[in-house]
Amino acid sequence: MDILLKHAKKYRVDIFWAVVMVVIMAVSTLWQPKLLQKVIDAILKDQGDKITSLGIYLIVVAVIGLLAGVVNTILSAKVAQSMSADIRETAFRKIQTFSFGNIERFQAGNIVVRLTNDITQIQTLIMTILQTLIRVPILFVGAFILAMDTIPDLWWIIVILIVAVLGISMLTFGRMGRHFGLMQGLIDRVNELAKENLMGVRVVKSFNQETNEEKRFDKVSDDLNAQNIYVGTLFSVLIPAFTLIGNMAVVAAIYFVGDLAKADPSTVTAITSFINYLMQIMFAIIIGGMMMTFSARAMVSIKRLREILDEEPDIYYTDVPEENLTGSVSFEDVSFSYEGDDKPTLKHINFEVKPGEMIGIVGATGSGKTTLAQMIPRLFDPQEGMVKVGGKNLRDINEKSLRKTVAFVLQKAILFSGTIADNLRQGKEDAAEEDMDVASQIAQASEFINRLPARYDAEVEERSANFSGGQKQRLSITRGVIGKPKILILDDSTSALDAQSEKLVQKALNNELKATTTFVIAEKISSVINADRIFVMDDGELVGEGTHKDLVENSQIYQEIYNTQKGKETV
Ligand SMILES: Nc1ncnc2c1ncn2[C@@H]1O[C@H](COP(=O)(O)OP(=O)(O)OP(=O)(O)O)[C@@H](O)[C@H]1O
């Protein structure tokens, strides 16, 4: 609840007026039956003047109540929407501080559901609170007192009605609350499955997996449907049950009022307002029950959002001034394990790289090449040892200094929707067209960019679906080199390029970014054969280091990789 209170402060004036409007609305609702009773009384006594004045009075009270209701709805909607937008933005800002590790802990799909579905639940709760929280007790207590005051002899009908409606509400709304919790978990699962399926739609189709995928999805969707049907069934039983109780109370009131009227004829005119108050008591209990059920559902959502807001970022940057670092990189006895893994992925890695060196990293799949590279831009922190850039421990430099020094071109080229220029400017905020020309020439991207009518203003669709794998990689390399970083890491980033283009990229890098320290992770030895030094990784260990010539002579693992590739390629 503290999330709601914290974000409510900003809207306290609107909340105050929303609450005032609710009170006016409740008082108007309570007042109307009494006025109606007086109008009927005047009609029976044929008091023409009184009928008109009371009639106008009744209409004015009803219109005021109606207007208060409209203003309350407008204010409540405004506050609910604004507060939920604020909470969503706060959560999104928090997510931006997360490391890879933090995000993996939640899974991306799960975070999306929290930012959408859970926020919607919270929005509904805020709206419900502002519309009903105060109205329910005022209506319940007011209608109870007024009903007792109207026909005191029928007090027992009021008590039986309250006991019956309360009993049924507690039984059903309690059950619904539990099922809402289950539904939330299933909605997560439906979202995850749909996302996984759509992201991997090419794999699904090429492996003819549609039927299996449908089965997996249907199972979760059916479970969710079963929960929905259960809650729906409870609702469909509830409404006739409440109607029956209400009608029985009305019949009892009419039946017994006959006896009372013999002694006091004025009781007859009181029956309409008495019935009205009975209905108001019943609705107050029902609305209260529904509010509690909504709250139970929204509490699950608040808890899920709290988890995001309370998550401590794994990686903190120290508050030191920005500085210009050199391109040297050193690992001092670095060991690292992914969370939940009992086996380390990197084991006691030691090396030193001078500014401007080109380092190739090779090794079997899963040997830890990407993990090692991810330590340099500090995507993960090692559990043991120290990573230094420009002679400084990464834990002692600020984020900006590191980001402007290191550019990382990922194995999987990821572009954002927008234009090509928008994407390139992620690598250099103020990049001019000339910078883009130079960078795209290095990445061998200029040819296809120049063929696009809008060139750098060409649109990149969502998930860059309008570009081929090779084009995405070229654009991704362009973004990596555009800021002329001191350290450039290419993680298997030329895998979708033909051998000729790959060679041209390497040549251009050598010519244009001579001063840049470059790490090239490659599956193919041919991609790193000309590197100043090549690191050989095996099962998390750095088992060899040297030029291609040295390694062919001295490293058994390198020789094995080299020999398996030699037959297939011109190395
Ligand atoms: N985010 C992660 N969480 C848990 N384990 C991971 C994660 N990323 C990698 N691993 C594990 O760490 C090991 C090393 O992975 P890494 O990606 O560094 O290897 P690699 O040498 O780059 O492989 P490849 O050549 O196939 O890209 C693998 O066993 C992998 O399963």
Closest protein CA for atom 6 of ligand 1: 338
Closest protein CA for atom 1 of ligand 1: 338
Atom of ligand 1 nearest to the CA of 104: 1
Which residues line the pocket of ligand 1, CB cutoff 6 A? 104, 338, 341, 345, 363, 365-371
Would the pTM count as exceeding 0.90? no
Cα angle value 521/523/528 (rounded, 5°): 55
Same domain, 262 and 394: no
Alpha carbon of 365 to ligand 1 centroid (Å) = 8
Q: From CA 366, how far away is CA 343, in angstroms rounded? A: 13
Alpha carbon of 445 to ligand 1 centroid (Å) = 29
Query: Model confidence at 109, in pLDDT bands (50, 70, 90)?
Result: low
Closest protein CA for atom 4 of ligand 1: 338
Tokens of 131: 């519309």
Closest protein CA for atom 26 of ligand 1: 365
Phi-psi region of 24 (alpha: psi -120 to 50; beta: other; left: phi over 0): alpha
Q: From CA 318, how far away is CA 399, in angstroms rounded? A: 8
Closest protein CA for atom 31 of ligand 1: 366
Cα angle value 131/137/139 (rounded, 5°): 80
Q: Stretch 355-366: mean pLDDT, rounded?
A: 91
DSSP letter (8 states) at residue 523 = S
Atom of ligand 1 nearest to the CA of 372: 18
Same domain, 33 and 139: yes
Q: Stretch 461-468: mean pLDDT, rounded?
A: 76
Q: Stretch 48-70: mean pLDDT, rounded?
A: 92
Share of the chain above pLDDT 90, in %: 37
Same domain, 353 and 399: yes
- Please answer whether residues 384 and 334 qualify as being in contact, where contact means their C-beta atoms are separated by less than 8 angstroms: yes
Alpha carbon of 368 to ligand 1 centroid (Å) = 6
Same domain, 276 and 350: no
Same domain, 176 and 218: yes
Q: Within 10 A of 9 (CB to CB), how many other CB atoms are there?
A: 8
CATH number of the CATH domain containing 361: 3.40.50.300
Alpha carbon of 147 to ligand 1 centroid (Å) = 72
CA proximity to 356, closest of 549, 494, 535, 531? 531
Same domain, 247 and 380: no
Alpha helices in 200-209 (DSSP H): 201-206
Cα angle value 512/408/476 (rounded, 5°): 70
Selected residue with higher pLDDT from 273 and 210: 273
**Helices then strands (H, E): number in the chain?**
20, 12
In the chain, what is the straight-line distance between the N-terminal and C-terminal CA atoms, in Å?
A: 64
Q: From CA 388, how far away is CA 219, in angstroms rounded? A: 50
DSSP letter (8 states) at residue 118 = I
Same domain, 393 and 523: yes
Alpha carbon of 303 to ligand 1 centroid (Å) = 32
Same domain, 365 and 304: no
Query: Which of 339, 345, 374, 536 has most ligand 1 atoms within 8 Å of its beta carbon, as the pocket-test mutant?
Result: 345
Closest protein CA for atom 17 of ligand 1: 370
Contacts of 202 (CB under 8 A, 6+ apart): none
| Residue 323 within a domain | no
Same domain, 363 and 504: yes
Q: Of 310, 343, 371, which marks where a domain is finished?
A: 310
Alpha carbon of 542 to ligand 1 centroid (Å) = 15
Strands (E), 179-285: none
Same domain, 155 and 261: yes
Atom of ligand 1 nearest to the CA of 338: 4
Handedness of CA 154, 157, 163, 166 (dihedral sign): negative
Closest protein CA for atom 5 of ligand 1: 338
Q: What are phi and psi of 501, to 5 degrees?
A: -65, -40
Q: Is 157 exposed, middle or buried (0-12, 13-18, 19+ CB in 10 A)?
A: buried
Alpha carbon of 29 to ligand 1 centroid (Å) = 66
Q: From CA 405, how far away is CA 484, in angstroms rounded? A: 9
pLDDT at 494: 77
Q: Which helix (H) or strand (E) segment is 363 a member of?
A: strand 358-363
Q: From CA 319, how far away is CA 560, in angstroms rounded? A: 47
| Residue 405 within a domain | yes
Closest protein CA for atom 28 of ligand 1: 366
**3-state SS class at 519:** strand
| Residue 315 within a domain | no
| Residue 89 within a domain | yes
Same domain, 461 and 490: yes
Q: From CA 421, how far away is CA 414, in angstroms rounded? A: 14
pLDDT tens for 110-150 read 788 889 888 998 999 999 999 988 899 999 999 999 999 98
Query: Which of 105, 343, 370, 408 has most ligand 1 atoms within 8 Å of its beta carbon, as the pocket-test mutant?
Result: 370
Query: Which of 100, 314, 335, 338 has most ligand 1 atoms within 8 Å of its beta carbon, as the pocket-test mutant?
Result: 338
489 beta partners: 408, 519
What's 260-285 look like in SS3? HHHHCCCHHHHHHHHHHHHHHHHHHH
Alpha carbon of 276 to ligand 1 centroid (Å) = 70
Query: Model confidence at 570, in pLDDT bands (50, 70, 90)?
Result: very low
Alpha carbon of 185 to ligand 1 centroid (Å) = 29
Closest protein CA for atom 8 of ligand 1: 371
Q: From CA 408, how far away is CA 480, in angstroms rounded? A: 6
Contacts of 307 (CB under 8 A, 6+ apart): 106
- Please answer whether residues 123 and 86 qualify as being in contact, where contact means their C-beta atoms are separated by less than 8 angstroms: no
For the ranges 202-216, 274-288, 348-362, the one whose mean pLDDT is highest: 348-362
Alpha carbon of 366 to ligand 1 centroid (Å) = 5
Same domain, 376 and 440: yes
Domain enclosing residue 487, as ranges? 329-566
Q: Stretch 33-43: mean pLDDT, rounded?
A: 89
| Residue 240 within a domain | yes
Alpha carbon of 340 to ligand 1 centroid (Å) = 13
- Please answer whether residues 334 and 387 qualify as being in contact, where contact means their C-beta atoms are separated by less than 8 angstroms: yes
**3-state SS class at 30:** helix
- Please answer whether residues 87 and 9 qualify as being in contact, where contact means their C-beta atoms are separated by less than 8 angstroms: no
CATH number of the CATH domain containing 117: 1.20.1560.10
Give the DSSP letter string of 38-95: HHHHHHHTT-HHHHHHHHHHHHHHHHHHHHHHHHHHHHHHHHHHHHHHHHHHHHHHHH
Strand 487-491 and strand 459-460: the pairing is unpaired
Alpha carbon of 371 to ligand 1 centroid (Å) = 6
Is pLDDT of 25 > 70?
Answer: yes
Is pLDDT of 461 > 70?
Answer: yes
Number of domains in the chain: 2
Give the DSSP letter string of 292-354: HHHHHHHHHHHHHHHHHHHPPPS------------S-EEEEEEEE--TT-SS-SEEEEEEEE-
Selected residue with higher pLDDT from 22 and 268: 22
- Please answer whether residues 157 and 254 qualify as being in contact, where contact means their C-beta atoms are separated by less than 8 angstroms: no
Query: Model confidence at 410, in pLDDT bands (50, 70, 90)?
Result: confident
- Please answer whether residues 326 and 493 qualify as being in contact, where contact means their C-beta atoms are separated by less than 8 angstroms: no
pLDDT at 571: 43
| Residue 571 within a domain | no
- Please answer whether residues 508 and 444 qualify as being in contact, where contact means their C-beta atoms are separated by less than 8 angstroms: yes
DSSP letter (8 states) at residue 428 = -
Radius of gyration from C-alpha coordinates of the chain = 35
Q: From CA 526, how far away is CA 499, in angstroms rounded? A: 9
Strand 533-538 and strand 541-546: the pairing is antiparallel
Alpha carbon of 370 to ligand 1 centroid (Å) = 7
pLDDT at 160: 92
pLDDT tens for 161-185 read 889 888 888 888 777 777 877 887 7
| Residue 316 within a domain | no
pLDDT at 89: 94
Alpha carbon of 367 to ligand 1 centroid (Å) = 7
Residue position matching structure tokens 């599956």: 523
Alpha carbon of 189 to ligand 1 centroid (Å) = 25
Selected residue with higher pLDDT from 212 and 145: 145
pLDDT at 568: 56
Is pLDDT of 508 > 90?
Answer: no
Q: From CA 509, how far away is CA 265, in angstroms rounded? A: 103
pLDDT at 225: 93
Closest protein CA for atom 25 of ligand 1: 365
Query: Which of 99, 371, 376, 492 has most ligand 1 atoms within 8 Å of its beta carbon, as the pocket-test mutant?
Result: 371
| Residue 286 within a domain | yes
Closest protein CA for atom 9 of ligand 1: 371
Does the interface ipTM go beyond 0.90?
yes
